[in-house]
Amino acid sequence: MFEKSKKMNHLEFKNGDRMAAIGLGTWKSRPAEVENAVKTALENGYRHIDCARNYANEDSVGRAFSTVFSAGKIKREDVWVTSKLWNNSHKRDDVIPALKRTLKDLQLDALDLYLIHWPVAFKNEVETFPEDDSDYLSLAEVPLIETWEAMVEAKKLGLTRHVGVSNFSIKKLKALSKLTNDMPEMNQVEMHPFLPQNELIEYCSENGIHTTAYSPLGSGDRHHSMKKEDEPSLINHKTIVEIAQKHNCNPAQVLIKWAEQRGTAVIPKSTSEKHIIMNLESANVKLDDADLDAIQNIGTRYRYVDGEFFVTPGNPYSDIFDLKD
Query: Phi, psi at residue 85, to the nearest 5°?
Result: -80, 125
Residues 6+ apart with CB under 8 A from 61: 26, 34, 35, 38, 49, 51, 105, 106
CATH 3.30.420.40 is held by the domain 10-310: no
Task: Determine the pLDDT at residue 129.
Answer: 86
CA 297 to chain centre: 25
* pLDDT(6) > 60: no
Provide mean pLDDT across the span 56-60.
Answer: 97
User: Half-sphere exposure (CA, 13 Å, Cβ side) for 249?
Assistant: 26
| 320, pLDDT greater than 50 | no
What is the percent of the chain where pLDDT is above 90?
Answer: 84
CB within 8 Å of 149: residues ≥ 6 apart: 92, 180
pLDDT at 292: 98
On the question of pLDDT at 74 being above 90, the answer is yes
Predicted confidence at residue 1, as pLDDT, reads: 31
Residue 3 reports pLDDT greater than 70: no
Q: What is the pLDDT averaged over residues 222-244?
A: 86
Q: List Cβ neighbours of 290 (8 Å cut-off, separation of 6 or more).
A: none
The catalytic site residues sit at 55
The span from the CA of 90 to the CA of 122, in Å, is 8
Tell me the average pLDDT across 127-131. Answer: 88
pLDDT for 247 equals 98
Residue 5 has a pLDDT of 46
CA–CA dist 159, 142 (Å, integer): 22
Q: What is the 3-state secondary structure (H, E, C) of the chain?
A: CCCCCCCCCEEECCCCCEEECECEECCCCCHHHHHHHHHHHHHCCCCEEECCHHHCCHHHHHHHHHHHHHHCCCCHHHCEEEEEECHHHCCHHHHHHHHHHHHHHHCCCCEEEEEECCCCEECCCCCCCCCCHHHEECCCCCCHHHHHHHHHHHHHCCCEEEEEEECCCHHHHHHHHCCCCCCCCEEEEECECCECCHHHHHHHHHCCCEEEEECCCCCCCCCHHHCCCCCCCCCCCHHHHHHHHHCCCCHHHHHHHHHHHCCCEECCECCCHHHHHHHHHHHHCCCCHHHHHHHHCCCCCCCCCCCHHHCCCCCCCCCCCCCCC
Q: Please enumerate in sequence order all residues whose Cβ is within 8 A of that of 319, keeping only pairs 6 or more positions apart, or say none.
A: none
The backbone torsions φ and ψ at residue 50, rounded to the nearest 5 degrees and listed phi first, read: -105, 125
User: In percent, how much of the chain has pLDDT > 70?
Assistant: 94
What pLDDT does 317 receive? 74
Which whole number is the average pLDDT over 173-189? 97
What is the mean predicted confidence (pLDDT) over 61-74? 98
Domain boundaries, the chain: 10-310
Tell me the mean pLDDT in the region 246-271.
97
Mean pLDDT for the chain overall:
93
pLDDT at 319 over 80: no
The residues, ordered by sequence, that sit 6+ positions from 282 with a Cβ below 8 Å of its Cβ are 5, 22, 249, 252, 253, 254, 256, 257, 260
* pLDDT, position 316: 74
- Answer yes or no: is pLDDT of 304 > 60: yes
Question: Confidence band (pLDDT; 50, 70, 90) for 314?
Answer: confident
Is residue 315 pLDDT above 90, yes or no?
A: no
Whether 60 has a pLDDT exceeding 70, the answer reads yes
Better-predicted residue by pLDDT, 308 or 120? 120
Gap between the Cα atoms of 126 and 133, Å rounded? 12
